[in-house]
Amino acid sequence: MASYTKSADRVTAATLHYTAAMVLVPDDAVLQVALPLPLPRFFDYRTPPGIAADAGWVGCRVRVPFGKRQQIGVVAAVGRSQAEPASLKGIVERLDAQPLLSDELWQSLRWAARYYQAPLGEMLATALPNALANGAAAADTETRGWQLSEAGHTALGGMRAGAPRRLASLLHAAARTAEQLDQELPGWRSAARTLAARALVQHVAIAGSPVQIAEPGPALHREQAQAVAAVIAGLGSFQPLLLEGITGSGKTEVYLEAIRACVARGQQALVLVPEIGLTPQALHRFRRRLGVPVLAFHSGLSDRERAAAWLRMARNQAQVLVGTRSAVFTPLPAPGLIVVDEEHDGSYKQHDGVRYHARDLALVRGKQLAIPVLLGSATPALETLAHARAGRYHYLCLRQRAGNAKPPQVRVIDIRKRPLQAGLSRQMLDALAACLARGEQALVFKNRRGYAPVLICHDCGWRAQCRHCDAMLTVHERGRRLLCHHCGARQAAPPACPDCASLALQPQGAGTERIEDALCAHFPHATVLRVDRQSTKGRNGLQRLLDTLGEQPGILVGTQMLAKGHDLPRLTLVAVVGVDEGLFSADFRAPERLAQLLIQVSGRAGRAERPGEVLLQTHHPDHPLLTGLLNGGYRAFADSELGEREAAGFPPFAHLALLRAEASTQAAVDAFFADAKVLALTLRRALAEASVGLNLHGPIAAPMARRAGQVRAQLLLSAAQRPARQALLSDWIPALYELPSARRVRWSIDVDPIDLY
Ligand code: ADP
Ligand code: ZN
Ligand code: ZN
């Protein structure tokens, strides 16, 4: 039986460090409460009569009156109020007897709120599972089960044969959960009632978890074994490690072995995966191999399920949690290891509210917790690579594919002056035909959903444009509807050109729907499946769709969704179209993203014993990004790209923060940025020498200057040194709240932005 419920002693050592910092509380102290409001301050409340505001309140949730309504907040501190205590309102209710947030997580969240320039209340509301943030009780999450009472053990010897005796002998060996009994002794419930009536069995919280047998994994190859050894050697102290290895090189086996070592020591492990990677198969693999309960945490669960998972980890009732971005806020009272799989993945960055980065926070927490943080990727982020090359991260590499799988052959197809069918060249269609003839599967991969076809008039050049945004509408439902990907506006496609009345309206550019149609026409007898958000709606939608194909020969058509995750053993050909759109983009991260995508999607071909082939169709076969990738792989690409970033003063050689604002009028946006910039310049002067390398760029119109009817602009702050940026931000952002012009815009600050729009 797992022993992790006994690890309370270990927790205390880590806790001491924080409680030692406890403050002396004055007699007239009040509660300083962080509320989930976009205001950079706490709100003072009185405790109920006769109850002191002592340090035991800090980290507890309270329900408080706020205006005409009530709010749930977290007590951030106790102390004297600026206001007359008698004038303060009292709290309505204390929701936690013990702090819900304490120790390292509490410290890390306070740190993150400062780092991302977010009000603590908003940071906490982001970090807590919804149900808890909304005030739900921290429900009981102990595993309950049946055990034999003292009297039961004594009575067992004298019991007559029958179901009650069979149940009693089972429980004599070990306590069991209802689920286990359902399997082992069908019909046990009436026997349990009989025994319970005589007080021979009890339904109680049982320690540990259902006994499960962990399946052994494959014998690790040398590089895997070295990687596991490096992680295990680092247990118990902070150590960032980068594990680089292409898809199928066996990174997950490394995670599993390292986690097993943690679990065996009674420690907890947190595994972060990209949104798309948390498939039922992935979870099943973890559960099968670890032999302890593995909790999941993702947006497909109900609020209650997520809160329960969070609480079980907080109470050390579970040891392993696998989750997406917001799982980085999981409490780890018995910390062992944090794994971040596909650490370069864009889904780790939150794109609204508090714009945190889960990989970066994982590193911050790992440092606070003094545990290793294992970052895995086939295509590490350039930031991460730079750390590894500077020796700050322990670098581990898996050079070979596990088993006998061979790397795919990559070919560039020059389509200049070649006829295309729905964007597909002759060579590509021939390769697809050959693949189907071999009885295998192919993937036609279209880069970026945003490049879906737009509707143009062949006669006058009119293009269907969104009324609310500076953007083209894209064609959907086989040309019947037009949709704006930016504001969601939709409308029926016009029957004729609104400008010249011509009927020659045509979709331009090949979206997945058009590719699917063209492929169906070209291969009338083959199965062609389009994989996008619509065709994969609902729980496990993608898996259900893939199951319909099974092992048959066929063609999948899709975008980003298909770049990773799901194992497709019969997939041997990957054909990439739309490469060119990614080659020429204003975004400094576009080349990195395209390179990562090309490597990821290539990794889908020939995973099993069959060799794979990858075709890249482009008008720019000599583009350095493509030739670099082809000749030197991601490593060569990264070297040259890091050089470009350094020359241009972009991350990781600079530290950015982006102030964005939007309003219904240009004047409101201009007034806000004028004030914001004056403030920033004044503060920069005050920083004197510390401000060297601190630059403001803009304000400029956002890359999409109008969206959903709002005018948008942005101001970029770049700094050669991170501390200088933080020093400026910590004065600048609080001051922005005070600006009258800030009330007439919607503004936000993005620290370490991923997209500069
Ligand atoms: P990654 O996480 O890098 O994509 P996985 O760990 O999922 O790679 O491994 C890919 C496949 O190879 C899996 O089916 C896995 O079981 C298998 N595999 C991994 N390591 C080994 C090994 N040492 N020996 C045999 N098979 C292995
Ligand atoms: Zn026209
Ligand atoms: Zn729009």
For 492-518, the DSSP string reads: EPPSS-TTT--S-EEEES--HHHHHHH
Spatial separation of the C-alpha atoms in residues 462 and 464, rounded to whole Å: 7
Residues 125 and 149 placed together within one structural domain of the fold: no
**More confidently predicted of 681 and 143:** 681
pLDDT at 632: 83
Q: Are strands 372-377 and 320-323 parallel, antiparallel or unpaired?
A: unpaired
Report whether residue 376 contacts ligand 1, using a CB cutoff of 6 Å.
Answer: no
H/E stretch holding 9: helix 8-19
Residue 46 DSSP label: B
Give the confidence band of 13 by pLDDT, cuts at 50, 70, 90: very low
Cα(294)–Cα(318) distance, rounded to whole angstroms?
A: 7
Residue 467 pLDDT: 86
Residue 474 Cα, ligand 3 centroid: separation in angstroms? 10
Residue with tokens 């505001």: 53
Cis link prior to 26 (omega < 30° from 0)?
no
Check residue 183 and give its pLDDT: 75
285 shares its domain with 360: yes
> Residue 661 domain-assigned?
yes
pLDDT in tens, 20-46: 345 566 677 899 999 999 999 999 999
Query: Which residue of 228, 246, 247, 252 sits with most ligand 1 atoms within 8 Å of its CB, as the best mutation to test the pocket?
Result: 252
Q: Note the pLDDT of residue 563.
A: 63
Q: Whose CA is nearest to atom 21 of ligand 1?
A: 402
Q: Which residues crowd ion ligand 2, with CB under 5 Å?
A: 457, 459-460, 462, 497, 499-500, 502
Cβ partners under 8 Å of residue 649, min gap 6: 718, 720
Ligand 1 atom closest to the Cα of residue 245 is: 3
Q: What share of the chain is helix, strand, coil (3-state, %, to 5)?
A: 40, 25, 40
Q: Where residue 565 falls among pLDDT bands split at 50, 70, 90?
A: low
Same domain, 38 and 64: yes
Smallest CA-to-CA distance from 381 within 113, 752, 756 is with 752
Taking the CA atoms of the chain, what radius of gyration do you get in angstroms?
29
pLDDT at res. 537:
67
Ligand of minimum distance to the alpha carbon of 491: 3
Q: What is the DSSP string of 101-122?
A: S-HHHHHHHHHHHHHTT--HHH
Is residue 381's pLDDT more than 90? yes
* C-alpha 192 to ligand 1 mean position (Å): 45
Spatial contact of 478 and 521, defined as CB atoms under 8 Å apart = no
For 302-316, write each residue's pLDDT tens digit: 999 999 999 999 999
Is residue 460, in this structure, part of any structural domain at all? Answer: no
Q: Which of 326-335, 450-459, 494-503, 567-576 has the highest mean pLDDT?
A: 326-335
What strands lie across the sheet with 481-483, from one edge to the other? 490-492, 481-483, 474-476, 454-457, 505-508
Task: Determine the distance separating the centroid of ligand 3 and the alpha carbon of 485, expressed in angstroms.
Answer: 7
Ligand 1 neighbourhood includes 245 CB (under 6 angstroms): yes
Distance 494 CA to ligand 2 centre (A): 11
Three-state DSSP class for residue 14: helix
Contacts of 265 by beta carbon, 8 Å cutoff, 6+ apart: 235, 336
Residue at token pair 């737009």 = 454
Position 209 confidence tier, pLDDT thresholds 50, 70, 90: low
Closest ligand 1 atom to the C-alpha of 398? 3
247 pocket-lining for ligand 1 (C-beta < 6 Å): yes
Query: Do residues 31 and 78 touch, judged by C-beta distance below 8 A?
Result: yes
Stretch among 111-120, 249-258, 414-423, 717-726 having the lowest mean pLDDT: 414-423
Q: Taking all residues of the chain, what is their mean pLDDT, rounded to a whole number? A: 86
Residue 105 — very low, low, confident or very high, per pLDDT cuts 50/70/90? very high
Q: For the residues 46-61, what does the mean pLDDT come to?
A: 93
Q: Count CA within 13 A, CB hemisphere, residue 185.
A: 20
Q: CA 336, CA 232: separation in Å to the nearest integer?
A: 10
- Cα distance between residue 21 and residue 24, in whole Å: 10
- Going by alpha carbons, the residue nearest to atom 6 of ligand 1 is 250
Residue nearest to atom 9 of ligand 1 (CA): 250
The answer to whether the CB of 378 is under 6 A from ligand 1 is no
| Closest ligand relative to 506 C-alpha | 2
The CATH number that applies at residue 687 is 3.30.70.600
Which residue, judged by its Cα, is nearest atom 27 of ligand 1?
402
**Residue 740 and residue 677 share a domain:** yes
Q: Compute the distance from residue 725 Cα to the ligand 1 centre, in Å.
A: 42
Query: Is residue 252 lining ligand 1, measured as CB closer than 6 Å?
Result: yes
More confident residue, 208 or 190: 190
Are residues 674 and 610 both part of a single domain? no
Q: Is residue 242 part of a domain?
A: yes
Q: Which two tokens stand for residue 371?
A: 């545990």
661 is in which domain, residue-wise?
655-751
CATH of the domain at 310: 3.40.50.300
Residues 124 and 148 in one domain: no
224-266 pLDDT, tens per residue? 999 999 999 999 999 999 999 987 789 999 999 999 999 999 9
Q: Is 253 in the pocket of ligand 1 (CB under 6 A)?
A: yes
Q: What is the distance between the alpha carbons of residues 126 and 561, in angstroms, rounded to a whole number?
A: 26
Task: Yes or no: say if 484 and 471 are a contact pair by the CB < 8 Å rule.
Answer: yes
Per-residue pLDDT band for 68 (boundaries 50, 70, 90) equals very high
Say how many Å lie between the CA of residue 246 and the centre of ligand 1. 11
Nearest CA to ligand 1 atom 14: 248
The reply to whether ligand 1 has any atom less than 6 angstroms from the CB of 221 is yes
Give the number of other Cβ atoms within 10 Å of residue 479's Cβ. Answer: 15
- For residue 286, what are its two tokens? 């973890």
Q: What is the pLDDT of residue 324?
A: 96
Count of beta carbons in the 10 Å neighbourhood of residue 446? 26
The count of other CB atoms within 10 Å of the CB of residue 428 is: 22
Mean pLDDT check: name the lowest of 105-114, 184-193, 411-420, 430-439.
411-420
Cβ(249) to ligand 1 under 6 A?
yes
460 alpha carbon – ligand 2 mean position (Å)? 4
Write down the pLDDT at residue 212. Answer: 66
Does the pLDDT at position 429 exceed 80? Answer: yes
How many helices (H) and strands (E) are present in the chain, helices listed first?
22, 31
> Residue 8 — pLDDT band, cuts 50, 70, 90?
very low
- Choose one of 249, 253, 401 to mutate for the ligand 1 pocket test, by most ligand atoms within 8 angstroms of C-beta: 253
Q: How far is the CA of 470 from the centre of ligand 3 (A)?
A: 7
Please count the CA atoms within 13 angstroms of the CA of 321 that sit on its side-chain side.
32
Nearest CA to ligand 1 atom 11: 248
Q: Is the CB of 745 under 6 A from ligand 1?
A: no
Kindly report the number of other CB atoms within 10 A of residue 689's CB atom: 6
Distance from C-alpha of 439 to C-alpha of 128, rounded to nearest angstrom = 49
Domain for residue 723, yes or no?
Answer: yes
**Edge-to-edge strands of the sheet including 69-79?**
43-45, 30-34, 69-79, 61-66, 93-94
3 state SS of 488? coil
Last residue of a domain, one of 592, 619, 645: 645
Per-residue confidence (pLDDT) for residue 2, from 0 to 100? 33
- For residues 409 and 473, give the distance between their C-alpha atoms in angstroms, rounded to a whole number: 37
* CA–CA dist 111, 122 (Å, integer): 13
Domain boundary, last residue among 86, 111, 133:
133
- Identify the residue with better confidence: 202 or 334: 334
Tell how far the Cα of 506 is from the centroid of ligand 2, in angstroms: 11
Closest residue by CA, ligand 1 atom 23: 220
Per the domain annotation, does 212 fall within a domain?
Answer: no
Q: Residues 607, 567: contact at Cβ < 8 Å? A: yes
671 C-alpha to ligand 3 centroid (Å): 25
410 Cα–ligand 1 center, Å: 22
Kindly state the percentage of the chain with pLDDT values over 90: 48
Using the mean position of ligand 3's atoms as its centre, give its distance from the Cα of residue 625 in Å: 32
Residues 380 and 355 in one domain: yes
Ligand 1 atom index nearest CA of 341: 2
With beta carbons less than 8 A apart as the criterion, state whether 263 and 256 touch.
Answer: no
Instruction: Establish if 281 belongs to a structural domain.
Output: yes
Shared domain for 313 and 175, answered yes or no, is: no
CA–CA separation, 46 and 52 (whole Å): 9
Pairing of strands 554-558, 571-577: unpaired
The DSSP element (H or E) to which 294 belongs, if any, is strand 294-297
**Does ligand 1 come within 6 angstroms of the Cβ of 403?**
yes
What is the arithmetic mean of pLDDT over 580-603? 79
For 527, phi then psi, to 5°, come to -80, 125
Among residues 624, 645, 666, the one where a domain terminates is: 645
Contact 629, 637 (CB under 8 A): yes
Which pairing describes strands 294-297 and 320-323: parallel, antiparallel, or unpaired? parallel
Average pLDDT of the residues in 4-14: 34
Residues 201 and 70 in one domain: no
Shortest-distance Cα residue to atom 19 of ligand 1? 250
| Rounded distance between C-alpha atoms, residue 74 and residue 93, angstroms | 12
Residue 691 inside a domain? The answer is: yes
**Is 229 in the same domain as 315?**
yes
Decide: 379 in ligand 1 pocket, CB within 6 A: no
The burial class, CB within 10 Å (0-12 / 13-18 / 19+), for 606 is buried
Residue 76 CA to residue 60 CA, distance in Å, equals: 8
Is residue 274 a contact partner of residue 348, using CB atoms and an 8 Å limit? yes
Residue pair 35/75 in contact (Cβ under 8 Å)? The answer is: no
pLDDT in tens, 597-654: 888 888 777 665 677 888 988 878 888 888 888 888 888 899 989 998 998 888 999 9
Give residue 11's pLDDT band: very low, low, confident or very high (50, 70, 90). Answer: very low
Distance (Å) from CA 382 to ligand 1 centroid: 25
For residue 482, give the nearest of 446, 507, 512, 457 by alpha carbon. 507
Q: Are 560 and 440 part of one and the same domain?
A: yes
Ligand 1 within 6 A of CB of 733? no
User: CATH number for the domain including 103?
Assistant: 3.40.1440.60
How many angstroms does the Cα of residue 474 sit away from the middle of ligand 2? 17
CA distances from 94 to 18, 105, 156 (A): 23, 21, 47
Let me know if residue 59 belongs to a domain.
yes
**The two structure tokens encoding residue 584:** 């020429």
Residue 5 has pLDDT above 50, yes or no: no
* Total domains in the fold of the chain: 5
Q: Do 173 and 240 fall within a single domain? A: no
Q: Say how many Å lie between the CA of residue 251 and the centre of ligand 1.
A: 7
Burial degree of 59 (CB within 10 A; 0-12, 13-18, 19+): buried
pLDDT tens digit string along 273-288?
Answer: 998 777 778 888 998 8
